[in-house]
Amino acid sequence: MLDRVKNYLVETKIEMKKVTWPTKSELKDATRVVILATFLLTVFIGIIDQILSGIIKLVFR
């Protein structure tokens, strides 16, 4: 069991050396994109919610 854990940790270390990590600039740009996309999606869903709520109120009036 201990050999399996040791082997796992060794293989994990080897694989982590193969990872290409983003630069600080790339990370900032990706974060901005995620925040903007989240904001736009929130606005879109809010608008659709208001439209559908209005339609439901008209139907059940």
User: What is the model's pLDDT at position 31?
Assistant: 98
Report the residue count for the chain. Answer: 61
CA distance 45 to 42: 5
Q: What pLDDT is attached to residue 15?
A: 96
At 39, the amino acid letter reads F
Residue 61 pLDDT exceeds 90: no
The average pLDDT across 11-28 equals 96
- 58 sits in which H/E element: helix 24-59
For residue 21, give the DSSP letter: P
Looking at residue 3, what is its pLDDT? 93
